[in-house]
Amino acid sequence: MTDDATRTLGKGSAPPGPVPEGLIRLYSMRFCPYAHRTRLVLQAKGIRHEVININLRNKPEWYFTKHPFGHIPVLENSKGQLIYESVIACEYLDDAYPGRKLYPYDCYERARQKMLLELFYKVPHLTKECLVTLRCGRGCADLKLALRQEFCNLEEILGYQNTIFFGGDCISMIDYLFWPWFERLDVYGIADCVNHTPALRLWIAAMKQDPTVCALLIDKNIFLGFLNLYFQNNPDAFDYGLSC
Amino acid sequence: MSGGSARSLGKGEACPPRSAATLRRVSGPGPGGRAAPERSHAGGSAPPGPVPEGLIRVYSMRFCPFAKRTLLVLKAKGIGHEVININLKNKPEWFFKKNPFGLVPVLENSQGQVIYESAITCEYLDEAYPGKKLLPDDPYEKACQKMVFELFSKVPPLLLSFLRRQNKEDCSGVKEELHKEFSKLEEVLTNKKTTFFGGSSLSMIDYLIWPWFEWLITLELNEYVDHTPNLKLWMEAMMKDPAVSSLFIDPKAFRGFLDLYLQNNLEACDYGL
């Protein structure tokens, strides 16, 4: 069980106190892909942290003091400093904490990873649209075609580099920034979108062997349970699968 | 200005030898004046040769605000560089090998490494070259600059949309949106109680957002910051910066360019040359 297995806070909940020294706090939601990025970095770098899950359909009033639009993920440290936007949060963690560096040291290689992120920018929107369309009982052939095209672009990168991971022979930041959407392909019902991209499939397999990715893998049945409730507009969706 | 096309090199011609006439070297902190900009490279031109050691090359366009970001950083850090302008209305085929998106700015160094996306080029220059650091070392302060950058992100498309509509349809909706976005930036300055977006001295975030505020000045739209006094003061402070003032666009040239550009005229990018 991951350390974010706590019930969400919603409207009417009391605001949490300050973040204890030696910890960093993440405002999150167990199934959100953007927050997933930040949780991967926290895990990969072994950063001591606490997670507060937010009920995204019923946001606490106090949460808007953490983010003007109530988005997640948001980091809060013991100085009360707030950092948001998932990519900014991930880079902050890599800069602020010692140990394993997820971004490369070389400034050109760092720039390359940021350019790769630009290539990825259509994927989140397309995967979400596929999910919503399928759940509404409509076909999403056009969307899947567009998504396959994006995957072909990524396939080309792996082919050109001739490496397993997007940053080279070892896993690095860019792989973690991409991963959450690939983990969701199966549960969203669009796993066949990687049928024609063998290097990407190899990358997915290699990612599933990574200890960090494994530690945070979401159980398929729990995810499906969440999705079912979410699409019924049930506010309890976000706590699906919690025993407490 | 003649009606002829940009200096053309036919397809398949060998790349001409590098010479002072072919490549305008714009060196680091030199005396005042800039080297004369060369005409843009267009469809049919031969690809340029490799970048000479000791220089970095920027593929640019004289009036592009995104490329302006990179030029400002090059100037502010005194980085020796050469500029190759691209005709954005008639792009040379070879340019897509530098950037598959076909956009400026693009950096190319003497190792043949290519970096694109304006914000990425600026950060790369700050990290790769010595001298004054434009991005803060403190991870939180650096993250703050990136959060302000996100806050600013709606301004470029809004301003472009506003310029496209001017004198045509009613653009009061766009005006209102612009006011809203400027108010967000005003709030940052008010909360920070500093002149610049990164603190008491000018830093990366100021250069990254500057080019669109330069448009307000060149197009005499200063009234758009009338209700945001801190933003107005910031603009005045920016105008005093040596990099900003040395790269300031000539208002007549910009208007001339804009008129042609909005009509999709192939000569737009070379207006005034």
pLDDT score of B167: 59
The pLDDT, as a whole number, for residue B173 is: 83
Question: In angstroms, what separates the C-alpha of B219 from chain A's closest C-alpha?
Answer: 32
Listed in sequence order, the DSSP H helices in A16-169 are: 33-44, 86-96, 107-119, 123-135, 141-161
pLDDT in tens, A181-238: 999 999 999 999 999 999 999 999 999 999 999 999 999 999 999 999 999 999 899 9
What's the confidence (pLDDT) of residue B163? 86
The first and second tokens of residue A147, run together, are 């998504």
Q: What is the pLDDT of residue A2?
A: 66
Q: Average pLDDT in the A118-147 region? A: 96
Percent residues over pLDDT 70 in chain B: 85
A57 and B CB contact within 8 Å:
no
Q: Does A109 touch chain B (CB under 8 A)?
A: no
Rounded to an integer, the average pLDDT of B58-77 is: 98
Which A residues, 159 through 218, put their C-beta within 8 Å of a C-beta on chain B? none
Predicted pLDDT at B164: 84
Mean pLDDT, residues B53-65 taken together: 97
CA pair distance A35, B83, nearest whole angstrom:
41
Identify the pLDDT of residue B168: 63
CB B41 within 8 Å of CB B89: no
B264 burial via Cβ count (<10 Å: 0-12, 13-18, 19+): exposed
Residues 6+ away with beta carbon under 8 Å from B22: B16
Which chain B positions have a beta carbon within 8 Å of A77's beta carbon? 140
Residue B21: per-residue pLDDT:
33
Reported as a pLDDT band with limits 50, 70 and 90, residue A244 is: low
Q: How confident is the model at residue B31 (pLDDT cuts 50, 70, 90)?
A: very low
At residue A84, the 3 state secondary structure works out as: strand
The alpha-carbon gap from A118 to the nearest alpha carbon of chain B, in Å, equals: 8
What number is the average pLDDT over the span B254-266?
Answer: 93
Kindly report the nearest CA distance between residue B78 and chain A, in angstroms.
Answer: 19
Residue A42, pLDDT above cutoff 60: yes
Q: Please determine, for residue B17, whether its predicted confidence score (pLDDT) is greater than 50.
A: no
% of residues, chain B, pLDDT over 90 = 77
What is the pLDDT confidence band of residue B166, given thresholds at 50, 70 and 90?
A: low
| B50: enclosing H helix or E strand | none
**Is residue B5 scored above 60 in pLDDT?**
no
Cβ neighbours of residue B72 closer than 8 Å, sequence gap 6 or more: B207, B210, B211, B243, B244, B247
Hey, how many other C-beta atoms are within 10 angstroms of the C-beta on A141?
Answer: 10
Poorest-pLDDT segment among A65-74, A107-116, B110-119, B215-224:
B215-224
- Whether the per-residue pLDDT at A74 is higher than 80: the answer is yes
pLDDT at res. B20: 32
ipTM value, please give it.
Answer: 0.95
| Amino acid B174: pLDDT | 85
| pLDDT of B23 higher than 70 | no
Contact A85 B150 (CB under 8 A): yes
Find chain B residues with C-beta within 8 A of A111's C-beta.
Answer: 115, 120-121, 123-124
Distance from CA of A105 to the nearest CA of B (A): 10
Percent of chain A beyond pLDDT 70? 99
**pLDDT(A50) > 70:** yes
Which pLDDT does position B8 carry in this prediction?
A: 27
Q: How confident is the model at residue B165 (pLDDT cuts 50, 70, 90)?
A: confident
* pLDDT, chain B, mean: 87
C-alpha B51/C-alpha B70 separation (Å) is 17
For position B246, what pLDDT does the model report? 97
Would you call A107 an interface residue with chain B, using a CB distance cutoff of 8 Å?
yes
Residue B125, pLDDT > 80, answer yes
Split at pLDDT 50, 70, 90, the class of B16 is very low
> How many residues are given for chain A?
244
Over the stretch B81-106, which tens digit does the pLDDT of each residue have?
A: 999 999 999 999 999 999 999 999 99
Which residues in chain B have Cβ-Cβ distances shorter than 8 Å to A118?
A: 117, 120
Report yes or no: A95 at the B interface, CB cutoff 8 Å. yes
Taking an 8 Å cut-off on Cβ atoms, the answer to whether A108 and B123 are in contact is no
> What integer pLDDT is reported at residue A216 of this predicted model?
98
CB pairs under 8 A between A and B: 48
For range B184-209, the mean pLDDT: 97
